[in-house]
């Protein structure tokens, strides 16, 4: 299951943008750990940057992936702090992300599949968007 997902992610990366192929590899490797249905994330416990309960937040990032500008950074206050203290944008538009109790992450575009860290989560969202822009959704 995991290797299947890995191969798919890489293939899609190369199909969408040749320049992004190299970038797709680390994302796919990170995603492979969290591919459904395997939900055993015990291997992540204590990994610095992966465990929201250790006091160290996830690594910030600011890069171009598949032609999209993705930024992830610690967030203070508001609902983002409530959801793990980390804020992500794709081309300047917020990607709603949330941390699970086991330290893994989900986003509003991959809401039923867990990822090891916000960077892997964000790259997966870019893959899924296929160039589409995020739009804000009104919350109650």
Partner 1 sequence: MAVRKNQATLTATEKRNFVSALLELKKSGRYDEFVRTHNEFIMSDSDTGDRVGHRSPSFLPWHRRFLIQFEQELQRVDSSVALPYWDWTADRTTTASIWGPDFLGGTGRSRDSQVTTGPFAYATGKWNINVSVDSRPYLQRELGSAVRQLPTRAEVDSVLAMTTYDMAPWNSASDGFRNNLEGWRGVNLHNRVHVWIGGQMATGVSPNDPVFWLHHCFIDKLWADWQRMHPTSPYLPGGNTADVVDLKDTMRPWNNVTPADMLDHTAHYTYDR
Binding site for partner 1 (CB under 8 A): 1, 4-5, 8, 35-39, 79, 82-83, 96, 98-102, 108-114, 128-130, 132-135, 137-140
Q: What angle do helix axes 118-129 and 2-16 make, rounded to 10 degrees?
A: 60
> In this structure, are residues 63 and 70 in contact, taking their beta carbons and an 8 Å threshold?
yes
- Using the 8-state DSSP alphabet, how is residue 115 labeled? B
CB of 95 to partner 1, least distance (A): 9
Compare residues 18 and 132 and give the one whose CB is closer to partner 1: 132
Query: Is the CB of 99 or the CB of 119 nearer to partner 1?
Result: 99
Burial class (CB in 10 A: 0-12, 13-18, 19+), 92: exposed
Considering beta carbons, is residue 20 or 110 the nearer one to partner 1?
110
């Amino acid at each position: 299951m995991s290797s299947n997902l890995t191969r798919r992610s890489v293939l899609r990366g190369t199909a969408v943008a040749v320049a992004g192929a190299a970038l797709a590899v680390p994302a796919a490797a990170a995603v492979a750990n969290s591919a459904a249905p395997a939900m055993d994330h015990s291997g992540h416990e204590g990994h610095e940057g992966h465990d929201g309960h250790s006091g160290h937040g996830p690594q910030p990032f600011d890069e171009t992936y598949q032609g999209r500008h993705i930024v992830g950074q610690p967030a203070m206050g508001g609902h983002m702090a409530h959801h793990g203290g980390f804020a992500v944008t794709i081309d300047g538009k917020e990607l709603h992300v949330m941390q699970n109790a086991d330290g893994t992450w989900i986003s509003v575009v991959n809401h039923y599949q867990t990822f090891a860290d916000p960077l892997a989560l964000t790259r997966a969202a870019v893959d899924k968007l296929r160039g589409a822009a995020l739009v804000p959704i009104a919350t109650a």
